[in-house]
Amino acid sequence: MSNNNEETHSCGCGNAHEVPCECDSDCACHAVSQEDAIEVVDGDTRYNEMLDRYQRCLAEFDNYRKRTAKELSIRYDDGVRATCEKLLPLIDNFERAMEANENKGDSFYQGIALIARQFESTLESLGVKPIETEPGTPFDANFHHAVAHSADENFGQNEIVAVLQKGYTHKERVIRYAMVQVAN
């Protein structure tokens, strides 16, 4: 494929090789056709479009991965809360059994206390914490559920008089509100 400005030679391999002309750069053999220029521009445009699509796809996948990890964590936390909500009455019953037993040195009492501590440590390992509520602390509707009122003069207005049932939280969310008696 030679034209006027290119010559061919043989190096001994039996193939003809094109040798560029040695004329100045304004020669017609160096001119790029408009069609070739359009192909180069189209190729660059196509490359940029494909690069943009690739980067968007990567970003979308990264967002998907983060979203599913967050949803999985939320589902796990919801499962922990739902399970613990079902187990809390068992802990309440163990505490009632310990309060009802008059002989604290009895082996039955020791067994019940051991099981209750084991339940509490298991809940703690899952991130479940009891709501710290003591008589004399102010009533907080975010953590307490007032089920009774008392006209006790030893306590101020809206102070907790007695805790009737312990409340629990899991990761700053209330699983069960503490049932309390409040002073008027």
pLDDT tens for the 184 residues of the chain, in order: 444 444 444 455 555 555 555 655 555 555 555 666 666 667 788 889 999 999 999 999 999 999 999 999 999 999 999 999 999 999 999 999 888 888 888 888 899 999 999 999 999 999 999 998 999 899 999 999 999 998 888 888 889 999 999 999 999 999 999 999 999 8
Query: How many CA within 13 A on the CB side of residue 18?
Result: 9
**Burial bucket for residue 113 (CB in 10 Å: 0-12, 13-18, 19+):** middle
Selection from 168, 167, 170, 172 nearest residue 146 by Cα: 167
Could you give the residue range(s) of every CATH 2.30.22.10 domain in the chain?
A: 127-184
Selection from 16, 15, 23, 19 nearest residue 6 by Cα: 19
CATH of 33-126, one of 3.40.1700, 3.20.20, 3.30.70, 3.90.20: 3.90.20
The Cα-based distances of 143 to 3, 64, 178 in angstroms read 92, 35, 6
Residues 167 and 130: their CA atoms lie apart, in Å, by 6
CATH of 127-184, one of 3.40.50.970, 2.60.40.10, 2.30.22.10, 3.40.50.720: 2.30.22.10
